[in-house]
Structures are given as structure tokens and as C-alpha cells.
Structure 1
Amino acid sequence: MSLALVRSQMAIENPRLEARIEKWKVFRDVCEARERLGIQDRALAVLDALLTFHPHAELDPSQGLVVFPSNAQLSVRAHGITETTLRRQLAALVDAGLILRRDSPNGKRYAHRNRDGEIEQAYGFDLTPLLARATELASMAQDVAAERVRFRRAREALTICRRDVRKLISVALEEGAAGNWDQVESEFVSILARLPRHPNRLQVEATLEEMELLREEVLNILETQLKTDEMHGNATQDDRHIQNSNTESINELEPSSEKEQGGSLGYKPQTESAPIERGNAKPEPIKAFPLGMVLRACPQITDYGPGGRIEHWRELMKAAIVVRSMLGVSPSAYEEACNAMGPENAAVAMACILERSNFITSAGGYLRDLTRRSERGEFSLGPMLMALMKANEQGNRRTA
């Protein structure tokens, strides 16, 4: 007994007569708030056993709130805990302000009943504190549940942030990005080392804040690196575009092989069994064919571009997909062509097939034949484009 315990018991000993609460709801609130109340799981088992001796579903002052089981009965309903443990946990429940002791003159637990069998006086454990503190316990349980949610979310956010930083550092090292990544790695390890083995929410949130700052720093370094690479890449691309945009320099784009420059290699109307081009050269890289040259050789593809025009290679590839569908070329055939020639060269091949579609029996079969020859290094787009461009120029002169 202590003055603090007497004071707490006086504050909760006499609840309002009209107050009542469902006993198992209070028990659930106590279970939720057990850490704040300073009780263990064994104490909860004893409190559960005490509540089973209360015959009513609700805690109601008018029905009496004192239960008086023997230690033997309590031990059985508390899953067989020893008497020593039982006494210790009962004391813990009293200290936590959840039950009161109502001692009899001889220290035993019993009740006096009247002639009608109703209890007039009982000695044992009083459950009144549970009723008097029901609102407080419910609020405490809600706070504990909310705190648990905040703690879980903080841990999840820290886990995600930690993984992000780890992946960013790994990518930077693998790609050889500029930066003092050894120092960043050291800071990453140091932040995690400062986190205790069993941290609380405030410690997790502090670590999360440090990790987020490190992630932001790493992203800034990588963003600066990417902008620098992009600027250099654009400069190189602009130089290449200026060099390739001279569509009048046709002689430089013709195949260097003397055999390929022979007249017999020019375009002739063919069927599927006799492919357009018979050169033995490997496919040229796409930079060998300026877009202006492709459109001069295959002007019909322009009608299938976005808005009826083609100004970029991406628009040519989109138009090629439309033409593929129109000519009945299967997606698998076009995918094989893209894998063998490259997506840009496959789009140029589709533009060439469209240009001479009146002379080709099966566009799909023709494209598959070109794909197989390209895989063997027996097909080149250069002579095909040159032949189509010459044919278009001759047709324009005759029309004029």
C-alpha cells in the first residue's frame, strides 16, 4: 500500500450509478494498452479469468462488481499458472489501477447472501476501476493503435528509402558516374549504424530524415551527371544531323563495292521468289541513310505518318507499323525484321515494300525473305533505296 495507490483508488472507487460498459470491450482496450499500463501477458490472462467469474455481460454497479474466486479456481481459468505467479500478477493489476482488493476480516474471499440468495457483502477483487476508467482506457487504446500505425509506416518508409539509396549507389558505381561514391557509401552505412537494434518511432523517423537527405543528395549528383551527358549527346547528334542532312551528296551514300554498283543490281520489278536486292553486303547502320534520302526514295510512306507528314525517324517507324498492318504483314514477321535489321532499317524496308507493293505478291513473305538474308549478311538497303530513288526521278521526268 502507498499514498499514490490510495489516491488512485479513491479517484476510481465510486463511479456514476448509471454508468455501465460491456466487460469484454474494456478487456480488449486493456490488452491494447498493456504496455502503457505496465502489465504483462500473464496479468492479462489473470484479468480475463477474473472477468469470467462476473456473471453478467456488462459491468454495472447495481449488479455488484466484486468477484471472489479462490486461487485454485483462478489458476485453472488462467491456464494453470502457478500460485506464486498468480499472486504477482494480481498485485500488478492492483498497481496498474485495474482492480481493487476487498479484504475480509480473516483474509478469505467470500460473500454474504440474504434469504433470497442475493449478495449483500462480498470480499475479493473489485472490478469497479475497469468501469470507472473505461473512457480513459478506450482513449489509451486508440492512441496506442495510432502510434503503432505511425511506427509501422515510419519503418516501411525507411525500408523503401534505404533500398532506393542502395540501388542508386549501385547503379552509379556500375555506370561509372562521376562523384565521390565511397564517401556516399560510408555515410549510408553510418546512418544505419546509428539506428538501435530495437528502435522506437522517434528514432526511426530521425533515421528516415537522414536517409531522405542522403537520397536527395545522390539524386542531385546523378541528375547533374545525366544533364551533362545529355548536353554532350545532343551536341554529337546535332553534328551528325548536319552532316547527314545533305541529301544531294548521293555519291557518298552509294555502296562502295564495285559489284554492288553494277547495273544488274538496280531495282527491277520482282515477285516474292525473286527479291529486289541481291547484294552480299551487311546492313548499313541507320546513319548511312539520311531521312531525306529515304523519303525521296519512298515518298508514299509520308501519307501514313502522323498528320500526313514525317519529320523524324520516330514518325517513320510509327508510319511503318501502320503500313505493316495495311499490307497484311504479321506482327511476328515485323518483329523478326526489327531484330535482324534494327527498328529503323526495318521501317525503311517497309517503306520500300510499300513503294513497290504492286509488284510483290506477299508483303509478309517478302519481308521474311529479306530478314533471313539480312541475318546471313546477304542483304543491303543501299542499292534498294538508290534504285527506288532513280526510278522515281525518271518517272518525274517523264511526267514533266
Structure 2
Amino acid sequence: MFESGNRTWERNEKTEVAARGFTGLPVGVSRWDVLSQVKRLQRELGLTATQVAHLEFLVGYTRDQDWQSGSNPIVYLTVSATANKRSICERQVLNIERALNRAGLVCWHDSGNLRRFGHRSANGELLQAFGVNLAPLAESYKRLYCMAQELEQRACVWKQQKTTLLLHKKVLRQQLTLHPDHPAVGDAQKLLLSLPRRIEARLTITQLLQWSKQMLQLIAAFHEVRDPSSTDQIEVDPAVDSGPQDRSCRKKTSDRSEIQFRHINTNNTKQTLSNERSSERTLPVGNDLKIALTADAERALEKIKHESAVPARQHPIAHEDRSTSPPLPGLEPPSAQAVLLSSGIEHITLKQVLTCASPMLRDMIRNTSKSAGADWEAVIEAATLAAGYLGISKPAWQEANCKLGSSAAATLIVITERRSTDPATTINSYGGFVRGCLAKAKAGDLHLQKSVFGLLSKANLDE
């Protein structure tokens, strides 16, 4: 029978210990925060998209009070009912649960006959339950949080080493161009040819450091031997201040190009159009060139300054962030709708977006809503949080808001987060997916309404 598939010798004993020591989630941490850490560390934990989707399904069948001290987040849904709701077979349900148990995220609280059932009180309190216990997932929050922080720091170090390597590569190529007859040219060309064309994420930090070290050694070898004629020799006469300057007591310099030429011994360092001396000293900041204006130009300038002092009229647009600063003088502010790229958001309603959202996002929207019902502001705020745990960088999220608008950007995050739980449409990089959608919007090929209508056409969207 499939109900007795969780054998004792197949269990992870650490999860049993974690379940017995469950004291509730930390203060300020919800069940969805724990799930977001699992999604962020999916590759490091060795989980597939199907397993993460099943874990989200189990978390959705619990209540907030089940994750508090004195209770247990147990899902007492039977194996057959779980298989029917997820449209998979019962054996696959048990295989996924075993994989989650090996990862240390779930365990089982079995009855005497290994049947799964439970009862709740009138106020929703869990009185008795036998089934899948998610207490190990709650106890793993601190471990998952530390892993996420370490992964983020490691990514930051890797990015810095990549930037350093590319800089050294550029300097080494410049040295090859300037010194083609140097003895180290052969080694430098050999090293550059051995480097990959693209620095991909699979390369380790150790490999990047090794290449940077080799490049630094070659760059130092190029700097050791220099052509004396290539350096400027400057000699200063010690008797410069002893008397009037003449040809014999001026600074001796090598020949220089006439481009950006400047006299050394002059009291006037200010360039003028007529190349004449000026008694005024150059200001440290600002424009050095003063052009006389005509009477008509002066009057036009005064008129522009007077008009710019009057605050511009505000034109608020629903659910879009607009700057409150007045427009620049002499320029008409462009239409807000003309700045945004076409995305198809005008064909989508708030109710459709809420229906397409995953159970976790819907719960986040309810928590961020200031009123009784959900609104666009709550959707945008929840989408901002979701973009963070999906790994979408702040510049990419800000670019989506600027080019598509807050509502369209939030709808894009809802679609992206929903697709992340679908094994048939896996996404390797969520930031790349968002930037790809922005490129489609720039070309006029982004149609969010088609994605929303496609999700709504599915029969079992939340299963």
C-alpha cells in the first residue's frame, strides 16, 4: 500500500530530532519567509523545481497558528488526495516526500496504522494530526538564512574578482600593443589565448585569482624594461626664483604635441577664444567662457527664469510613481504615458492578477494591504519583496518600474514567480528573464495579457 511508504530505515534521523525540538518560528518570520529561502537555495540544497513546488503546496495547506510554539505544522492530507490535487501519481508523491526528508526539510508524524488524518477545533487550532510534519523546515530557517548570506557574499567576491580579471586583461593587451618586441610577449599571448571568451558563473574564485596573479606578473615584467626615449625628462633650474626668468632659467621639457598645449611660465591659465591674455583668474569650478548675450536673449532668459519659479501642475496617474519636481526651463515635460513601453497591462484587471498569483504571493499581498481588500499598492509592495527573494537585482527591478510602470512590473513578477513553480517552464535566471521581457517590450513584442490569460485557462492553477 502506498500509505505505508515512509519506512523507518529510510528516514532522516536529524529531522526527527528537529521536529521534537520545535518551538515555533522566530519573531517576525512567517512560513513564506522560510519557503523563500528554500527557493533561493534550490540548487545548493539539490532540489528540483517539482520538489520545491510540492513543498510550497504543503506549506499552503498549513495555517499561521500551526507554526507557533505549542503546535506543529502537520499536513494530514492523504497521499491519494495529494496526488489528485497535484495531478501526479501516488508513488511520485512518496518519492518527493523522501527527497525532501533527505534534504532535512520534512519528516512524518505517523499514526498506528500509518494513516493520515487530523482534526481542528472551532477556532482552527490543530487538535490531532498525523501526516507530513514541516517542523524541520521551520527549524532549518537559521541554517538556510546563513547559507543565503554566505552565498550572497560569495557572489559579491566572485563579481569583484571577475571585474579585476577583466581590468588586468585590458591592461595586458595595452602592454602588448605598446611593446610588441618585449621578451614577455609570447607568454602574454599564450595566457590570453588560454582564457575563455566569456567569464561564466561556473568558474571558481580560485581560478579567477590564479589568472589575475599570472597577469600581474606579466604586467610587472612589461614595466621593468622601458624605453628611455618614451619617458619625459624634466629638469628644474634651482635658480628660478633668484631673478628675472630668461631662456637659461626656464624649465626644460621634452617636445610635446600641440594638442592640449599649455605654456608653463605664464600668469594666465585661462583659455579664451582670441588667445589673448586676461587679467581674470580661472575659477576653480564653473564655465571658464563668458559669452555676451544680446538684449533679446537677456529678456528671454529672464522670462524663462520667471516661468520656472512657478510650480508645474501635477498630473497623477493611477498606480504609477511620478516626480514632483518642476520641469526644466524651456522644455515641455513629456507625457507620462509616452515614456512607458507597451506591455499589455491595459488589458489586465486586478482580479485577474490576484487569481494568477501563487498562494504565497496572495498571502504576502494580504499582509501588505492596508485596507480590507487587496489593491494595486499591495500587489506592487509584495512584488518588490518577491523580486528580492527570486534574486532579481535592484537595478533590474528599478528599470522594469521605469520602463513598464509599477503595475506592469508587479504583474511581470507575479507571472515570473508562478512560472518558477511549474516544472514544464523552468527559469535558470530570473534577472535574465526580466531583462529579456524588457527587451521584448522595447521591440513591442511584450504581451503580458497573453501570459495572464494562459495561466487563467489552466484548470488546476493552484495545485
TM-score by length of 1: 0.50
Higher relative contact order (CA 8 A, sep 6+): 2
Q: Which has the higher helix share?
A: 1
Determine which structure has more spread, i.e. the larger CA radius of gyration. Answer: 1
TM-score by length of 2: 0.44
